[in-house]
Amino acid sequence: MYYTIYIYWIKFVKFFLRFFIFLEILWIDKFQAMIHDHAMKYLIITGNPKKDGLCHLEEEELIKGCKDGGADAETLNVGKLGRCHVCGDGWGSCRTEHRCSFGGDGFDEAREKVKQADAFCFITPVYWGEMAEGLKSFFDRLRRCEATWQFEGKAAESAFGGKQVLLVASPGGSGNGLLSCLEQMDRFCRHTGAQIFDYIGVNRWNHDYKKKAIYAAARAMAEGREAGKSI
């Protein structure tokens, strides 16, 4: 009799322990999902046409920095989207409705990712002292939809309004055109209400230490550091 009771007791204890472990695993999964849902969404926007090179190495540092800082990072390459059609007499639905009439080419999907993001990095190779053509075309279209909110006194409605942006330009060949490219991205940020976190220029002979700066900047942003505040 006592042996039978002992066997049932052992089975009960095993069942209880398994049930407890199951609940613990379930709670951990839900807790991790909750943290993931509330993590900063960091969007890396590029128009880089290359499959390797400095910009790809820099993206890796950005992703590492975001991850170590507790943020979720995603890369959005807009290099294949079409250019602005300059509707009507120079303005179309981008001004009146803050949308692109040709957004079905992938622009609307990309713009939605911009709206959902909490912080950004614009990263581009430098061509002729400017951003990669694909990125510039995307920004030309996006600026018309977002910057025009200020015409109605609603600048905060911009998808970039008050959000921090890290600007990274990489003139990999000669190293020329860095400042004009960064200035071009700077102008886009000021038109759309974005807050510039920092400017970083990378070339073939400074990449070894600039990649550390990129990692540190991404991590600082992910951890909540705000531009303009002393440390």
- The answer on 97 and 83 residing in a single domain is yes
113 and 59 in a common domain: yes
Looking at the fold, whether 165 and 114 belong to one and the same domain comes out as yes
* Nearest residue to 126 via CA among 185, 211, 207: 185
Residues 2 and 56 in one domain: no
Structural domains in the chain (count) = 2
- Kind plus residue range of the DSSP H or E element containing 77: strand 72-77
Residues 6 or more apart from 108 whose CB is under 8 A from it? 99, 100
Overall pTM surpassing 0.75 (yes/no)? yes
Contact residues for 141 (Cβ-Cβ < 8 A; gap 6+): 81, 83, 84, 94, 100, 107
Q: Are 39 and 72 in contact (CB under 8 A)?
A: yes
If asked whether residues 31 and 46 sit together in one domain, one would say no
**166 and 110 share one domain:** yes
- pLDDT tens digits for the chain (231 residues)? 555 665 666 666 676 667 667 666 655 555 444 444 578 999 999 999 988 888 999 999 999 999 999 999 999 999 999 999 999 888 999 989 999 999 999 999 999 999 999 999 999 999 999 999 999 999 999 999 999 888 888 888 899 999 999 999 999 778 899 999 999 999 999 999 999 999 999 999 999 999 999 999 999 999 999 887 776
User: CA 92 from chain center: how many Å?
Assistant: 28
